[in-house]
Amino acid sequence: MAATPPAQPALFAQGPAVSSDGPAVSSRRRAVSRSGPRGSVCVLGSGSGGNATLIRRRAVDGTEELVMVDAGFGPRSTARRMAQAGVDLAQLRAVCVTHFDTDHFRPRWCSVLADLGVRVLCHHWHLPMLGRCEGAARLFDAGLVEPFEHGPAVRVAPGVTATTVRCQHDRQGTTAYRFEVAGGSVGYATDLGHVPGELVERFAGVDVLCLESNYDHHMTIHSPRPSFVNRRNLSDSGHLSNDQALAAVQAIDAADPRNAPRNIVLLHRSSQCNHPTKVRRCFEQDATMKRRVIQTHQRRRTRWITVRAVPAVRRCQLPLPMCLARVA
């Protein structure tokens, strides 16, 4: 039996519903089928010390398969956190990498993934960085590395596909993913200096939105860190501030107001230049965020967050005489 997860800080309500004064939610989302496949998300941890998120697809027969976004903790630490979440490495089918900074991919994973036969998906642009990781040759030799270009949908695992957007961050950039799982969708973007319009368009209508909210502007300006680090983080190739993250969520809401994200999961909070209270006060400026926002933590996982499926719209079926009567 899985261990009980650690208590989460009660900074925002953890319920999945949008507050009554929030964006309108389509009735298509309320009638979720319980008999079909189910999707869910669990952030194992997020911050400058490591990042890893699980996307789970539970089939009708009860079997579960996992996709991991980034592998920024060591394999042992990740396995422990997965056990707390009631899953294990044997269920892992693929790792989707946003970029290859060590807080997003630890080289020790190369040998582990090769032993497990788990595929690694990344952008063509990032292949040289993967190639420099110790043990990566085993992944390449086994045909487990699957590079892609941005745009076309990529098959990630049975019942899970992804489309991607390239975002600006340092030299190599990062990959943002929109996952389609069990009829619902998850948007995932971290380590980006600004939010391009293409990302807003791609993430419109996702049910769970995972987005970086890295730093507080005032704390960064007055940070004791080297000035070149602060300049980099504040630039268009650095990270997203709390204010930028809020503006991005508002833009994604506005792009499809009837299907605004039910859960907004904030990633990669800086331990030196941000604070949970700063994040809370920023997002409380918008009353529609109150019941949707979940803050992540470096050292503990989130709960499993259900990805709500969007069933086909049921149209009213009228007997032929009634249809003719309406036309008349």
- Bigger pLDDT: 12 or 106? 106
Q: What pLDDT score does 232 carry?
A: 67
Work out the average pLDDT over 119-148. 96
Q: What pLDDT score does 161 carry?
A: 96
Between the CA atoms of 278, 8, 160 and 132, what dihedral angle is there, to the nearest 10 degrees?
Answer: 70
Under the banding of pLDDT at 50, 70 and 90, the label for residue 223 is confident
pLDDT in tens, 47-67: 999 999 999 999 888 889 999
Helix, coil or strand: residue 111:
helix
pLDDT in tens, 226-249: 877 766 666 666 789 999 999 999
Work out the average pLDDT over 3-11. 41
Domains by residue range for the chain, with CATH: 36-310 (3.60.15.10)
CA 65/CA 118 separation, integer angstroms = 12
CA 232/CA 211 separation, integer angstroms = 19
pTM above 0.75, yes or no: yes
Helix, coil or strand: residue 307:
strand
- Bigger pLDDT: 236 or 82? 82
DSSP H helical ranges for the chain? 75-84, 109-116, 127-131, 136-141, 197-203, 217-221, 227-234, 242-255, 276-283, 320-327
pLDDT in tens, 165-203: 999 776 778 999 999 999 999 999 999 989 999 999 999
